[in-house]
Structure 1
Amino acid sequence: MTTFPGSPQVLKGAIVGIDIFNPVSSVAVFQYNPEQLSRSVTPRYSEAGGGRAEPLRLQGPPTETISATLQMDVIDQLERGETGPLGGGLTGYIAALEMLAYPKTIQVAINQALMLAGTMEVLPPVAPLTLFIYGWKRVVPVKLESLSITETAHDPDLNPIRADVALSMKVLTYNDLSMTHPGYWAFIAHQVIKEVYATAASIDNIANFGAVLGAGPGS
């Protein structure tokens, strides 16, 4: 005899920073998926040439911003005697998100050594390729634009044990990245999936519209 579970298993969203200097320093799997996800999509029309003759010519994919608030806590873990990574409550989980905005210390040390050696031009550190993953249909390269952390509860050692983290991310497209960058192809794959879903939905809408017309006003 089989029983149906009370609730389906829910996939966990994540933000993953892929960095050759420290591959696992910026892996943030959501403890709870955000209840609300806001996306702002702004078309990019070409302002050069066309004029009134070609007012709808696109310059590239739209500019898209994703915003969400993550709720985090370790209250249940504390009741089981667990105190979070290195005993720091949420400190490590929050740090994994913050590291998306920090150059790695090894990069800073290398650049400092190059400057001391008299190198004329030292390139600034490069942020890791960051992927926002919200189900297999939405895996997009992003750039962290803002990160707001509100710690709402602490343990006796002042480690955060409950916090809200507000994120704002800009989606990076093939207009922002070179063809040799893995994020370029991640966005291409994302757009292909979007086109497949849009085509399927359009076919469904056409079929429904035809059925409505076929029914007629007197049906």
Structure 2
Amino acid sequence: MTGFARSPKLTRAGLVLIDPGSGAVTRIVSLQYAADTLTRKLTAQAVEAEGDRSHPLRLTGPAVETITFDAELDATDQLEFPDNNPSAVETGLFPALAALESLLHPTVAQLERQSAQRKSGSFEITPAETPLALFVWSRSRVVPVRLTDLSITEDFFDPALNPIRAKVSLSLRVLSVADLGFEHRGGGLFMAYLQGKEALAARAAAGQLGELGLGGLPT
């Protein structure tokens, strides 16, 4: 057995789409290569009544968390074995890119239903509802999100102008119980995500005041 055969299997990141009602998985969008850098921003939801200084430490809800990262897609490896990858030969990366783009579009059926409601004079047009998206980045990070922004750069094409290499930049907003409510399936998944954070925080090494140059706190 070679050293290559003993190499650890790499875990991919991706997005899992589920039906909010049944929890059934409707699609898995696997990112071919994990990003080298992932940026997260958390903004506290605090009491900020103008002139009110009576609750400086109180939080009104979970922090608003956003996640941004770049990922690369490449169909070159599949094209080396065309018999095993007919889709890549025929359409390159178009299917993978379309799967990501579908997170931002209503379906054709939803748009047609809205059009029919308008034509019938419906007082209220039903907004299109997308599947619930879960961002998966290791077993420790499975969190409900909304894709808010997607940028795609296609930089290499086959003779039929199918994209062969592409870079995608994704911006995700974590959906908390403040967005979904406690009864929503995504709300439960967010609570599990938050509980995981608390468990990991409990495992962090405790610091000492001496490390900060203090013998004790001022009184």
TM-score of the pair, normalised by structure 1: 0.84
Runs (5+) with no aligned partner, structure 2: 212-219
Structure-2 separation of matches of 1:48 and 1:41: 20
Q: What code does the residue aligned with 1:40 have?
A: K
- The secondary structure found in structure 2 opposite 1:132 is strand
Matched, 1:58 2:51: no
Q: Tell me the matched-pair count.
A: 207
- Structure 1 unmatched ranges of 5 or more: 213-219
Q: Secondary structure at the match of 2:103?
A: helix
Secondary structure of 1:92's counterpart equals helix
Q: 1:82-136, CA deviations, whole angstroms, 9 ceiling, x for partnerless residues?
A: 3535821100001000000010111112222222233221122122211111111
- What amino acid does structure 2 have at the position aligned with 1:189? A
Within-5 A mapping of 1:116-155: 116-155=119-158
Query: Which position in structure 1 is the counterpart of 2:75?
Result: 74
Q: Look up the equivalent residue of 1:43 and give its one-letter code.
A: A
Give 2:180's aligned amino acid. L
The structure whose residues are more often helix, as a share, is 1
**Counterpart of 1:43?**
44
**How many Å separate the matches in 2 of 1:10 and 1:139?**
17
Indicate the percent of aligned positions where both proteins have the same amino acid: 40
**Root-mean-square deviation (Å):** 2.7
1:15 is aligned to 2:51: no
Give 1:156-175 correspondences, 5 Å limit.
156-175=159-178
Q: Please state if 1:103 is matched with 2:106.
A: yes
User: Match of 2:147, as an amino acid?
Assistant: L
- 3-state SS of 1:84 partner: helix
Task: Give the letter aligned to residue 196 of structure 2.
Answer: I
Aligned to 2:216: none
In 1, are the aligned partners of 2:16 and 2:25 still within 8 Å (CA)?
Answer: no
Q: Per the alignment, in what secondary structure is the counterpart of residue 175 of structure 1?
A: helix
**SS of the counterpart of 2:53?**
helix
For residues 49 and 188 of structure 1, do their structure 2 counterparts lie closer, same or farther at Cα, with a shift above 3 Å needed? farther
Q: TM-score, normalised by structure 2?
A: 0.84
Distance in 1 between residues matched to 2:164 and 2:102, nearest whole Å:
19
Aligned to 1:112, what secondary structure does the other structure show? Answer: helix
